[in-house]
Structure 1
Amino acid sequence: MSLPRLGVVIVTMGTRPSELGALLASIEKQDVPAARVVLIGNATPLTEVDVAANVTKIPLDGNLGCPGGRNVGLEMLRESGEADVVIELDDDGLLITADVFRKVQQLFAADPRLGIIGFRVADEHGRTERRWVPRLRADDPMRRGQVTAFLGGGHAFSMPMLSAIGLWASEFFFGHEESDLAWRALDAGWTILYEPDLVLQHPKTSPARHAGYYRFTARNRVWLARRRLPALLVPVYLGVWILLTMALIRTLTGLKAWWSGFLEGVRKPCGPRQPMKWRTVWRMTRLGRPPIL
C-alpha cells in the first residue's frame, strides 16, 4: 500500500507567537514527518518566527482571510507537487500525540474516495464542546463515522479531491467556507470522515470574539445557499436560520449586524452558482444532516 506524502498549511496573523511556536514544535515531533510545512502570514512579515528546514514562510502584505490565506499555501503545495494530502491547522491549536500524521496517512492510503478527515477538537482538559462535533446529534464526540461537515481548525484534504472540486471560497473571508467546500466534496462523490482519535487541542473560545462575526455569518449563509442549494431549498434553509438566529442572538447590536450581513448576502455577488444534485441532498439526509440545517 503506497502511503501519501503529507503537507501542512498554517495561517497566522502573528498575534499568537507562543501558541504558534508550540504548534510548530508539535509538528516536528510527529513520527511521520511532513514533506513541507507552509506558514502563511496574513498581513504579518513572520520575521520573528523561527522555523525548521522543511517550513516555508510566505508573508502576505494584506489580510486575505483564513480561506484566502490557506489557498496561497495550497497553491504552493499543488505547484511543487510535494504533497498528496494536506493537513490544515489553526495557529493556536496543538497536536498532543505524535501519531496524528501517521494515522492520517494510513486512512487516506486505505480509501481512494476519502476526501476530507475532520479532527476532534478538544480543550486543554480534553473536553469537546457540542459545537465542535460535526453532526446534529453531538452528544457523543467519540462517535466515528461519515459526516457532512468538518471543522476548519484541524482537518486533512486529499489533493486529488481539491484538484477536482477547487480550493476554498476565498470571498467568504471568514465563516461557512468549510460548508461550501464540504458540500462541493459530497456533491462530487467524496467521503468526509470524522475521526475522533485525531485530536487537535484548542482553547475554549467563542466564535463571536472575531470582529464582524455576526455580519460574516449572515452574509455567508446567504451566499452558501445561493451558490450550492437547489432553488427549492434556498428559502427553506434561510427561513430556518432566520428563526434560529432570532431565538439565539440576545443583543440589539448583534441583531443589527446579522441583518446587515443578511442583506449584504442578498444584494452582493456570491460567485458562480453550482447547486448540488438532489441525490446529494438525499445522501446528506441519510448521513443525518439535510442541507437545511
Structure 2
Amino acid sequence: MSLPRLGVVIVTMGNRPRELEALLASVEKQDVPAARVVLIGNATPLDGVDVAENVTKVPLGENLGCPGGRNVGLEVLRESGEVDAVIELDDDGLLVADDVFRTVQLLFAADPRLGIIGFRVADEHGHTERRWVPRLRADDPMRRGLVTAFLGGGHAFSMPMLEETGLWPSEFFFGHEESDLAWRALDAGWKILYEPELVLQHPKTSPARHAVHYRFTARNRVWLVRRRLPAPLIPVHLGVWILLTLVRSRSLAGLGAWWGGFVEGVRTPCAPRRPMRWRTVWRMTRLGRPPIV
C-alpha cells in the first residue's frame, strides 16, 4: 500500500508566538515527518519565528483572512509537487499525540475516495464542546463516521480532491468557508470522515471574540446557500436559520450586526453559483444533516 506524502499548512497573524512555537514543535515530533510545512504570515513578517529546515515561511503584506492565507499555502504545496495530502492546523492548536500524521496517511491510503478527514478538537482538559462535533446529534464526540462537515481548526485534505473541487472561498474571509468546501466535496462524490482519535488540543474560546463574527457569519451563510443550494431550498434554509438565530441570540448589538451582514449577503454578488445536485441533498440527509439546518 502506497502511503501519501504529507504537507502541512499553518496560518498565523503573529499574535500567538508561544502557541505557534508549541504547535511547530508538535509537528516536528510526529513519527512520520511531513514532506513540506508552509507557515503563512497573514500581515506579519515572521521575522522572529524559528523554524525547522522543512518549513517554508511565506510572509504576506496584507491579511487575506484564514481561507485566503490557507490558499497561499496550498498553492505552494501544489506547485512543489511533493505532497499528496495536506494537514491544516490552527496556530493556537497542539498535536498531543505523535502518530497523527501516520494515521492520516493510513486513512487516505485505505480509501481513494476519502477527501477530508476531520480531527476531534478538545480543550486542555480533553473536553470536546458540542459545537466542535460535526453532526447534529453531538452528544458523543467519540462516535466516528462519515459526516457532512468538518472543523477548520484541524483537518486533512486529499490533494486530488482539491484539484477537482477547488480551494477555499477566499472571499468569505472568516466564517462558513468550511461548509462551502465540504458541500463542494460531497457534490463531487468525495467522503468526509470524522476521526475522533485524531486530536487537536485547542483552547476553549468563543467565535464571537472576533469583532466581525456576527456580520461575517450572517453574510457568508447567505452567500453559501445562494452559491450551493438548489433554488427551492434557499428560502427554507434561510428561514430555519433566521428562526434559530432569533431564539438563540443573547445580544441586541450582536443581532444588529448579524442583520446587517444578512442584508449584505442578499445584496452583494456571491458568484459562482454552482448548486449541488439533488442526489447530494439526499446523501447529506442520509448522513444525518440535510442542508436546511
The answer to whether the superposition gives a TM-score over 0.5 is: yes
Matched residues in 2 for 1:17 and 1:34: separation?
22
Asked if 1:220 corresponds to 2:220, the answer is yes
C-alpha distance after superposition, 1:71-121 (max 9, x if no partner): 000001001111100000000000000000000000000000000000000
CA distance in 1 between partners of 2:228 and 2:110 (Å): 30
Q: Please name the residue that 2:38 is paired with.
A: 38
Q: Which residue of structure 2 aligns with residue 72 of structure 1?
A: 72
Q: Residues 1-293 of structure 1 correspond to what in structure 2 (within 5 A)?
A: 1-293=1-293
Residue 248 of structure 1: how far off its partner (Å): 1.1
State the Cα deviation string for residues 203-251 of structure 1 (Å, max 9, x = none). Answer: 0000000111000000000000000000000000000110011111111
Deviations 1:264-287 (A, max 9, x none): 000011120000000000000000
The residue matched to 1:156 in structure 2 has which SS?
strand
SS at match of 1:231: coil
Task: Mark the runs of 5 or more structure 2 residues left unpaired by the alignment.
Answer: none
SS in 1 for 2:189: coil
SS of aligned partner of 1:194: strand
Q: Deviation string for 1:128-173 (max 9, x for gaps)?
A: 0000000000000000000000000000000000000100000000
User: Which amino acid is the alignment partner of residue 218 of structure 2?
Assistant: A
Q: Aligned-residue CA RMSD in angstroms?
A: 0.4
Shift of 1:28: 0.3
Matched position secondary structure for 2:214 = helix
Give 3-state SS (helix, strand or coil) of 1:264's partner. Answer: helix
Compute the TM-score of the two structures, normalised by the length of structure 1.
1.00
1:20: Cα distance to partner? 0.2
CA distance in 2, matches of 1:98, 1:252: 45
Partners of 1:34 and 1:179 lie apart in 2 by 27
* Partner amino acid, structure 2, of 1:291: P
AA aligned to 1:12 is T
2: CA distance between counterparts of 1:106 and 1:264?
43
Which runs of at least 4 in structure 1 moved beyond 3 Å after TM superposition? none
Cα distance in 2 for residues equivalent to 1:244 and 1:87:
33
Q: C-alpha distance in 2, partners of 1:250/1:108?
A: 42
Q: Which amino acid aligns with 2:168?
A: W
SS in 1 for 2:290: coil
Provide the secondary structure at the position in 2 that maps to 1:102: helix
Once the two structures are TM-superposed, the CA of residue 252 in structure 1 deviates from its matched residue by 1.3
* In 2, Cα distance between equivalents of 1:57 and 1:269: 34
Give structure 1 stretches of 5+ with no counterpart. Answer: none
SS for the counterpart of 1:149 is coil
Deviation at 1:2, TM superposition (A): 0.3
Quick one: distance in 2 between partners of 1:189 and 1:110? 17
Secondary structure of 1:63's aligned partner? coil
Percent identity of paired positions between Structure 1 and Structure 2: 84
> C-alpha separation between the residues in 2 aligned to 1:221 and 1:28?
36
Query: How many angstroms apart in 1 are the aligned matches of 2:131 and 2:74?
Result: 27
Letter in structure 2 aligned against 1:18:
R
Q: Secondary structure at the match of 1:239?
A: helix
Alpha-carbon distance between aligned partners in 1 of 2:49 and 2:109, rounded to the nearest angstrom: 33
Q: Distance in 1 between matches of 2:106 and 2:152?
A: 21
